[in-house]
Chains A and B, each alone.
Chain A
Amino acid sequence: MTATLVTLALIFAELSLLAFGGGNTILPEMQRQVVDIHHWMTAQEFSALFALAQAAPGPNMMVVPLVGWHVAGFSGVLVTSLAKFGPSSLVTGFALRLWERFKDRPWRRTVQAGLVPVTAGLVTASAVVITHASTSSWGTILIAAGVAIATTTTRIHPLLALAAGAVLGLTGIGQP
């Protein structure tokens, strides 16, 4: 148990410091760690947990305590939350002090512009990995495609799109 908690702490502390461009960029690595390397759950279960976290209120990294819960109960929640939010918060604290000083330096703009396509690539990779694990039948493929098109082309509320997906899923149409 302790070994599991230490492993969880190490994984999420690393993810915490690598999450440039927000939480969605680290989903594939999180999935690789908890599914492929440590076999704590299947890819489908990971997708289900991610979906649950998306349906909950608050910031979009709530899959973190959920993975902790699934693997090790309450202590898992504590360990993953601390490991995921602690290191990046420390970095934020230190950076806040330096921010004023480097605000107008040109290299800061270059670094920022350079990170944009990296973030875009990682979020696209997340979409590929999560979609691959979540769409195993024609019914779920249609739901994913419909939600992607609707939320890209209209201003539909994300929660409404999730609810529509859940209701369509409930009918069982196109699912084994």
Chain B
Amino acid sequence: MDAAPATLTTKHEAPDIGELFTGFFILGLTGFGGVLPLARHMMVEKRGWLTGAEFTDLLGLCQFLPGGNIINMSVAVGLKFRGIPGALASILGLIAVPTAVVICLGVIYGRFADDPVVRHLFGGLAAAAAGLLISTAIKIAWPLRRDVTGLFIVALGVLAIAIFRLPLLPTLLTLAPLSIVLRARQAS
């Protein structure tokens, strides 16, 4: 991905607040089922806000932090170019349309939830969404398939959260340090 032709990763100039808003607004409008590939296209190839390497570096940071990576990315890019107003413009642009759309869908669902046809439709939709989540989990866990330590942590996480329904905070405070210590031992 980062070996894109130089013309595609040439930086132009820093976006202003309006451009940040519209850029992320369009991203929110069009990003069905995952915004990440579109985000790179918009920021690197189409608008030239960042080089490919800068995008990857910023994404690394945003994945590492709590929160959705694209939400964090919008904040980081906005801050980088236009400070706090830029960050606000970016994140509001990103979530404006999706928020309006989900609320409209929610109103429709609320009004017709008792209708058997609508109930069946949403039954199928919910099952499909669950299927997508299974697929996401498989894709994230797949690189760990030969990693015994990694799989041990995965299994502990599933047991704690899905089977015993333990609260997330204590689970995370136990699991994350444990996993990091195990990694550090492997490395040394």
Instruction: Select B66's contact among A20, A125, A151, beta carbons within 8 Å.
Output: A20
B interface SS class: helix
Chain A residue at minimal CB-CB distance from B129: A51
Tally A residues with Cβ within 8 Å of B. 105
> Chain B 152-188 against A: per-residue CB contact (8 Å), 1 yes, 0 no?
1111111011110101110010011001111110010
In whole angstroms, what is the CA distance A92 to B68 when docked? Answer: 11
The answer to whether the Cβ of A88 comes within 8 Å of any Cβ in the partner chain is: yes
Tally B residues with Cβ within 8 Å of A. 98
Instruction: Select B98's contact among A62, A87, A121, beta carbons within 8 Å.
Output: A62
> Do A158 and B32 have beta carbons less than 8 Å apart?
yes
> Do B97 and A57 have beta carbons less than 8 Å apart?
yes
Evaluate whether A117 and B138 lie within 8 angstroms (CB atoms) in the complex, with A28-B162, A88-B72, A169-B127 already known.
no
The answer to whether the Cβ of B4 comes within 8 Å of any Cβ in the partner chain is: no
A residues in contact (CB < 8 Å) with B = 14-24, 26-29, 32, 36, 44, 47-63, 65-66, 69-70, 77, 81, 85, 87-89, 91-93, 95-96, 99, 103, 110-132, 134-135, 137, 139-141, 143-148, 150-152, 157-159, 161-162, 164-172, 175
20 new A-B contacts at CB < 8 Å, known A50-B129, A117-B150, A164-B128? A47-B126, A48-B109, A48-B126, A50-B126, A58-B35, A88-B67, A88-B71, A89-B67, A110-B180, A110-B184, A114-B180, A120-B144, A120-B157, A123-B141, A126-B161, A147-B134, A148-B138, A150-B131, A151-B135, A152-B138
